[in-house]
Amino acid sequence: QVGSPFVLMIDRGECNFVTKVRNAQKRGANAVVVADNTCLCGDAACTLPAGSQCEESAPIMADDGTGSDIVMPSILLTKTDADSLKAYLIEKNGSEQVLVQMKWFMPRPDDRVEWDLWTSPTDKDAERFKQNFYTSELALAEHAFLVPHYRIYQCAQ
């Protein structure tokens, strides 16, 4: 229905994840499901097109450093799951709506939140965040575990 919230399914293809999700967001999508187009090597149910190779592990949908404007969720479906969903959508030919529910479950056996902060020395937004979050981090104490990651770029001479 026009104007209704929608989740957009996009094939993985050659374009990077950030660009795909940003383009979907600009067109009004509320979330994105990226359909992988490559089989995982251990997935016996996955059929590879002739001449294709499988991947040893699933790709990581990561920010390439330009995704700070993206404010909606996105997930990656395996080729097997994506092909199954696509077949269903084709079979129904738009006669039924599909409900998409995205949930993230984070196991916390030690009752603490583990989180990562990816930053670089030149990231001014992250610097402000780190300064403002310091007090909160101290208050969380043993209930949180932070792993900082620093991107360091080598400049060509």
Q: What is the CATH number of the domain that holds 57?
A: 3.50.30.30
Q: So what's the pLDDT on residue 106?
A: 64
Full domain range(s) for residue 117: 113-150
Widest Cα–Cα separation across the chain: 59
Q: So what's the pLDDT on residue 108?
A: 66
Q: So what's the pLDDT on residue 2?
A: 58
Q: So what's the pLDDT on residue 28?
A: 93
76 and 26: one domain? yes
Q: How far apart are CA 74 and CA 76, in angstroms?
A: 7
Q: CA 85 → CA 33, 70, 142, 154, distances in Å?
A: 11, 25, 42, 43
* Positions of the chain with pLDDT lower than 50, given as ranges: none
77 and 139: one domain? no
Report the predicted TM-score, pTM, of the whole model to 2 decimal places. 0.64
